[in-house]
Amino acid sequence: MKYTRIPQTDIRISKICLGTMTWGRQNNEDEAHEQMDYALDQGVNFFDTAELYPVPAKKELYAVTEELIGNWFRKTGNRDKVVLASKIAGPGQVASHIRNTGFSKNAIINAVEASLKRLQTDYIDLYQLHWPERNTNYFGQRGYNAHAVDVWDDNIHQVLETLRDLIAEGKIRHIGLSNETPWGTMRYLEESKVHQSLPRMRTIQNPYNLLNRLFEIGLSEISMREQIGLMAYSPLGFGVLSGKYLTEIPPRKARMSLFPNYNRYSGDTAVEATEKYAQLAKEHDLDIAQMALAFVNTRPFLTSNIIGATTMEQLKDNIGSIRIELSDEVLEGIEEVHKAIPNPAP
């Protein structure tokens, strides 16, 4: 395994992060525990979850993923071996079964305390805001609609104050963003610069993969200049970059077969780009999934690459990508495809 650090901290984390969003829906508790056992044995010490999980979100399954992780901590006694990240759900229809108070002081406090109870731990190493409260473009929206109704009042100072108090209480150690824009990222960073008693955002968890490199346009400079590290999610684009959907009949239990509305990476141009990446991998005797993950692992702004799997075979291959070194020829081939079909999936 290779390791990095959460920026500007002494917390050492694996460059591969174990994602958990299928646990409790596509994976049962035994399978989730098997994944954690194997990942930890392979040197993966960084796990990412959220109160929203499993995904797709469902009222009856609210926060089951955190409960499964908590049961594993109790069973194994491995809490001190894991750097644990979780998230508070933002407002909106996808989380309407959770709360409708956004990131108010009480909402954040209650969310943290409930997660701690489910996770059976006294602290969360990295606590993230899952998506912005304000109307902006995230979850696949290409553009910003300046005319959309937005009742949000700038409460960033209050959010950071609440998180500061939770850090002081020892309930969380560090904080991060998720699905955030360049404006939002800088707004949080500047607030903590001006008011130095406030905590600083350490990471940003956004999509990044061969089909969606939008992070590079504005956020990569912020990431590197401001030392806020990318935790890349969907590095295989909902599994599209495994190549399994290029077959005439996709696997029956695959994510997009089960949830066809998750079509963010399934448009015609995305499929065309995936075919080109698959051909490039074949020419160099590489597995396309491992090539796609290895590419993410090379990025200078990356803090950790969040992989997810529903089978042990997938998990082993995904973790194994850390050992793949891409040649200059492969990297040049990737850039050629990217130039021809840039960012086909938002």
The residue with tokens 């902006």 is: 136
pLDDT at 341: 98
Encode 90-113: b = buried (16+ Cβ within 10 Å), e = exposed.
Answer: bbeebbeebbeebbbeebbbebbe
- CA dihedral in degrees (71, 73, 75, 76; nearest 10)? 150
Q: Is 245 a catalytic residue?
A: no
Query: pLDDT tens for residues 252-262?
Result: 766 666 777 77
Q: How many CB atoms neighbour CB 203 within 10 A? A: 24
Query: pLDDT tens for residues 45-99?
Result: 999 999 999 999 999 999 999 999 999 999 999 999 999 999 999 999 899 999 9
Q: How far apart are CA 344 and CA 346, in angstroms?
A: 7
Q: Which of 3, 38, 53, 62 is catalytic?
A: 53
Query: pLDDT tens for residues 189-235?
Result: 999 999 999 999 999 999 999 999 999 999 999 999 999 999 999 99
**Which CATH superfamily hosts domain 3-242+292-326?**
NADP-dependent oxidoreductase domain (3.20.20.100)
Encode 250-284: b = buried (16+ Cβ within 10 Å), e = exposed.
Answer: eeeebbbeeeeeeebbbeeebbebbebbbebbeee
* Mean pLDDT confidence for 101-113: 97
pLDDT at 230: 98
How big, in percent rounded to 5, are the helix, strand and coil portions of the chain?
A: 45, 15, 40
